[in-house]
């Protein structure tokens, strides 16, 4: 069976994808799979590399340059690949592992494309990917599922342009500083700002609008940030709960991924009742967005042990610093076994979908 490792992408999370893909490549079973890397450049070009016989030497080796020949290079220099059309990845007996973060990666776009190619792929389907990526849509689904969340105000770029003064009054009249300003469709803290007054709020909205036309402003609260990993299709499993240990209230993209300033406490020092509540809410959130494969669900926990959901990440990071694989390792499922389980879940989901299609045709 072939494994097509799809990574890179055109989002602001391109570099995270490279690191995640490198880590996944370390544990794939090359003795039973034919592994082929397909790199999507920042400009949108698809480049297929030569078959990987062994793990990549580093994430920079996975950066492919279009060439007439296929070859691996030394570490930290581009490798040679062949420019292809996206549809050229279609292959029998193949599973796609789309390690793509952000827009055009985990928002349902690539998932819809893979559905058209009729190929099994790791992770959530179109609906769950779109729902999980869109913070405004997911919040509506969480409300319907009865999962508590912090107060927020959402608006579009057009509404901000036409109604800035009234929106400012609404935000400052219903929420208390500090506030978090976020693009509706972005992850890894890209475009997110923590603000403490009106001038900072206006500047933060301008920053967020660089990444999306829809914006969400959330109430900031004093709380621990806790996360739980979810795995499965219809049979949903949850990991132990982890805690992000911070020495300041907000970590941006650089602190999270470049400086590795965030420390993880696994398992989190929480009461059994709070852990059970988080795990229950995580399952409900996963089902609410129609999750499959995997997700990481993030929560806030106050000193009074109130629990609020933050968001669902349908393709969480797989870097050496990432919470998702670390949570499963602490639960008893090691990285290599986790990756293999995700591949099997992809095959199972695709097979079930094919059976439903046959039933629909027969009736």
* 311 assigned to a ligand binding site: yes
The catalytically annotated residue of 79, 188, 239, 295 is 188
* 3 assigned to a ligand binding site: no
CB 126 within 8 A of CB 289: no
* 278 assigned to a ligand binding site: no
* 67 assigned to a ligand binding site: no
Active site residue 13: yes
Closest CA to 193 of 175, 207, 214: 207
* 310 assigned to a ligand binding site: yes
* 173 assigned to a ligand binding site: no
* 256 assigned to a ligand binding site: no
* DSSP codes, 276-334: HHHHHHHHHHHHHTT--EEEEEEEEE-TT--EEEEEEESS---STT-HHHHHHHHHT--
* 180 assigned to a ligand binding site: yes
Closest CA to 99 of 232, 187, 33, 9: 9
H or E segment to which residue 230 belongs: strand 224-232
The catalytically annotated residue of 11, 13, 20, 79 is 13
* 188 assigned to a ligand binding site: yes
* 189 assigned to a ligand binding site: yes
* 259 assigned to a ligand binding site: no
* 334 assigned to a ligand binding site: no
Q: Which residue carries 């062949």 as its tokens?
A: 82
Residue 37 bridge partners (DSSP): 5
The token duo for 8 is 């890179």
Active site residue 362: no
* 248 assigned to a ligand binding site: no
For every residue of 5-55, which 3-state class applies, written as one string?
Answer: EEEECCCCCHHHHHHHHHHHHCCCCCCCCEEEEEEECCCCCEEECCCECCC
The catalytically annotated residue of 129, 322, 326, 341 is 322
What CA–CA distance (Å, rounded) separates 345 from 239? 17
Binding residues for Mg(2+): 298, 311, 313
Binding residues: 135, 180-182, 188-189, 218-225, 298, 310-311, 313
Tell me which residues are annotated as active site.
13, 188, 322
Binding residues for ATP: 135, 180-182, 188-189, 218-225, 310-311
């Amino acid at each position: 069976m072939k494994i097509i490792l799809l990574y890179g992408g055109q989002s602001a999370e391109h570099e995270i994808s490279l690191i995640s893909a490198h880590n996944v490549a370390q544990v794939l079973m090359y003795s039973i799979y034919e592994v082929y890397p397909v790199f999507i450049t920042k400009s949108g070009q698809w480049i297929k590399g030569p078959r990987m016989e062994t793990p990549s030497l580093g994430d920079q080796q996975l950066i492919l340059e279009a060439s007439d020949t296929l070859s691996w290079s030394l570490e930290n220099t581009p490798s040679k690949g062949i420019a292809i059309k996206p549809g050229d990845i279609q292959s029998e007996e193949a599973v796609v592992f789309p390690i793509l973060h952000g827009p055009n990666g985990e928002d349902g776009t690539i998932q819809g494309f893979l559905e058209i190619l009729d190929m099994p792929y790791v992770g959530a389907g179109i609906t769950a990917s779109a729902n999980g990526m869109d913070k405004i849509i997911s919040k509506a689904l969480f409300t319907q599922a009865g999962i508590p969340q912090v107060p927020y105000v959402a608006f579009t770029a057009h509404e901000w342009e036409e109604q800035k003064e009234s929106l400012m009054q609404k935000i400052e009249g219903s929420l208390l500083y500090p506030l978090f300003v976020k693009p509706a469709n972005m992850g890894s803290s890209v475009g997110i700002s923590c603000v403490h007054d009106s001038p900072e709020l206006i500047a933060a909205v301008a920053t967020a609008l660089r990444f999306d036309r829809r914006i969400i402003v959330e109430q900031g609260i004093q709380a621990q940030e806790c996360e739980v990993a979810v795995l499965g299709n219809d049979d949903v499993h949850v990991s132990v709960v982890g805690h992000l240990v911070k020495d300041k209230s907000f970590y941006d993209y650089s602190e999270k991924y470049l400086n590795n300033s965030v420390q993880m406490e696994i398992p989190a020092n929480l009461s059994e009742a709070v852990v059970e509540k988080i795990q229950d809410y995580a399952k409900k959130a996963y089902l609410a967005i129609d999750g499959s494969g995997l997700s990481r669900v993030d929560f806030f926990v106050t000193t009074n042990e109130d629990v609020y959901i933050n968001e669902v990440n349908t393709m969480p990071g797989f870097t050496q610093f990432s919470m998702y694989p670390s949570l499963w390792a602490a639960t008893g499922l090691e990285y290599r076994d986790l990756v293999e389980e995700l591949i099997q879940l992809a095959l199972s989901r695709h097979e079930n979908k094919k059976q439903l299609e046959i039933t629909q045709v027969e009736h």
